[in-house]
Amino acid sequence: MLTLCLSLLLMITNSQITDKKEEVMKFELIQLPYANDGLEPVISKQTIEFHHGKHLQTYVNNLNNLIQGTKFENATLEQIVAESDGAIFNNAGQTLNHNLYFTQFSPYGGGRPTGALAKAIDATWGSFENFQKEFVAAGTGLFGSGWVWLAKDKDGKLSITKEPNGSNPVVKGLTPIMGFDVWEHSYYLDYQNRRADHLNALWGIIDWETVGKRY
């Protein structure tokens, strides 16, 4: 009888430990909504394999290891970016950045935004073409590594933000809508030092339906 009770107690304890472990949020590498060669020639298969399969996977792995035992282990990605610093912030920021980046593209992308986002862009920059010029100029002019983002505030007002390294508009209380990566690993295999050419080419694969839903 004593043996049976001890066995039941051990089973309950192990179950509680397992449940607690399962509560810990584990971030995973996002699945691409296209084949690795689906964005060619704008982004090559080789770049996708390195950028998504190697770089982003490393950020995700690092983040999962770093948040264990911290107040962030059950937090959302946006919460971690908004409230953390140091290595946790760097890896959370890059995970969020790349999740938004890779899911904003489509082999059938291009064209121009429609609906509310199109109206907001026209109201802010006068035309879609003016917005494109300012966006590319911001990305080209960003010194070193980082991101250029189209973001909105709580009232829906749009702005272009330049974020160094792994930062994101979330830290400013803004919602990121569309981002271009200007870290060299995102384009050097395909464009070498021609950052502006890379940024201009990205317009041809933007999935405006996905981006518009973020607005």
CATH number for 198: 3.55.40.20
* pTM for the whole structure: 0.87
Q: What is the pLDDT of residues 172-199, one digit of tens each?
A: 999 999 999 999 999 999 999 999 999 9
Length of the chain: 215
Give yes or no for a contact between 205 and 105, defined as CB atoms under 8 angstroms apart: yes
Domain count, the chain: 1
What is the distance between the alpha carbons of residues 25 and 59, in angstroms, rounded to a whole number?
15
Give yes or no for a contact between 17 and 179, defined as CB atoms under 8 angstroms apart: no
Residue 156 lies in a domain: yes
Range of the domain at 169: 115-214
Q: Under 8 Å CB-to-CB from 51, ≥6 apart: which residues? A: 43, 98, 185, 186
Mean pLDDT of 56-67: 97
Residue 160 lies in a domain: yes
